[in-house]
């Protein structure tokens, strides 16, 4: 199975500042047939289901604010929130869908400093 | 509007069985690959299993911890996804979400249903 490791486990950032969350996979998730990375990012607020933010590592889901961006390729990926808003407080998780079973990172808890 | 509504959760004794349902609407269910994902209390997300669309063979895949105990199925005539769970253990206690995939990313999610395995 592909192991997904996120860092850090928790993060406190001031309002308006940049937040960066990293995700590393134990093997490449680059799908050679379409040259896309099979990596998604989710946001989960307390008491709510996860919400898809980013897929194919860098494609923003419809309706997601453009302060959220995804980057990286192969085994190393980053979710960046360019200017943190109060409503961004949540747990963020990465997921690989390159091969079964799909696997998630352990999650990163983002708080306001 | 896409809706996924899970039901069937509850309290079950260790070794028992339970069937979860997920009623889908607002998208073409027959074409969708559907997954179940669970989240133990205070823990992260864990993918449980998936069923492809019938046009893609309707095959299933499972995570190792549930393989042989859980079965994912679908009734396209009812736009409903199922998760049959047997030989339940305390480690299976979690909120169970159904989700509609988009090329493997989990695009739509239900609100979840809580399964508690306890004597």
Please tell me which residue of chain A has the smallest CA distance to B67.
Answer: A101
* Residue A61 clears pLDDT 90, i.e. is over it: yes
pLDDT, average across residues A43-70: 97
DSSP B78-110: TTEEEEEE-S--GGG-EEEEEEEEETTEEEEE-
**pLDDT in the model for residue B95:** 98
pLDDT, average across residues B105-116: 98
**pLDDT in the model for residue B46:** 98
* Residue A100 clears pLDDT 90, i.e. is over it: no
CB < 8 Å to A106, chain B: 44
Query: How far, in Å, CA of A54 to CA of A71, rounded?
Result: 10
**pLDDT in the model for residue A76:** 98
Which of B104, B105, B112 has the CB atom closest to A49's CB atom? B112
Going along B1-119, which residue ranges are E strands?
Answer: 3-7, 10-12, 18-25, 34-39, 45-51, 60-62, 70-75, 80-85, 94-102, 105-109, 113-117
CB < 8 Å to B111, chain A: 49
Burial of B118 (0-12, 13-18, 19+ CB in 10 A): exposed
Whether A72 has its CB under 8 Å from any CB of chain B: the answer is no
Please state, rounded to an integer, the average pLDDT across all residues of chain A: 97
CB A7 within 8 A of CB A19: no
**pLDDT in the model for residue B85:** 98
Q: Do B106 and A49 touch (CB under 8 A)?
A: no
**pLDDT in the model for residue B65:** 97
Per-residue pLDDT band at B111 (split at 50, 70, 90)? very high
Residues B67-107 have pLDDT tens digits of 999 999 999 999 999 999 999 999 999 999 999 998 899 99
Backbone angles phi, psi at B91, to 5 degrees: -70, -10
Please state, rounded to an integer, the average pLDDT across all residues of chain B: 97
Residues B35-70 have pLDDT tens digits of 999 999 999 999 999 999 999 999 999 999 999 999
Q: Do A93 and B44 touch (CB under 8 A)?
A: yes
Whether B59 has its CB under 8 Å from any CB of chain A: the answer is no
CA angle A88, A5, A25 (to 5 degrees): 115
Q: Do B105 and A93 touch (CB under 8 A)?
A: no
């Amino acid at each position: 199975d592909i192991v997904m490791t996120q860092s850090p486990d928790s993060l406190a950032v001031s309002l308006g500042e940049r937040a960066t969350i990293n995700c590393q996979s134990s093997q490449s998730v680059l799908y050679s047939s379409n040259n896309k990375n099979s990596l998604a990012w989710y946001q989960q607020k307390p008491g709510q289901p996860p919400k898809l933010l980013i897929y194919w590592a860098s494609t923003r889901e419809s309706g997601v604010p453009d302060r959220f961006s995804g980057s990286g390729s192969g085994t190393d990926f980053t979710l960046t929130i360019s200017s943190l808003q109060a409503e961004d407080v949540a747990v963020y998780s990465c997921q690989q869908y390159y091969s079964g079973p799909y696997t998630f990172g352990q999650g990163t808890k983002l708080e306001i400093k | 509007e896409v809706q996924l509504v899970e039901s069937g959760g509850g309290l079950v004794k260790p070794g028992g069985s339970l069937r979860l349902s997920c009623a889908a609407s607002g998208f073409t269910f027959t074409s969708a690959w559907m997954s179940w994902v669970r989240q133990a209390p205070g823990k992260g997300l864990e993918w449980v299993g998936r069923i492809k669309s019938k046009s893609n063979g309707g095959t299933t895949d499972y995570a190792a911890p549930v393989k042989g105990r859980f079965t994912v199925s679908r009734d396209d005539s009812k736009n409903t996804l199922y998760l049959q769970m047997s030989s339940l253990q305390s480690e299976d206690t979690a909120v169970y979400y159904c989700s509609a995939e988009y090329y493997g990313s989990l695009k739509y999610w239900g609100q979840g249903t809580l399964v508690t395995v306890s004597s």
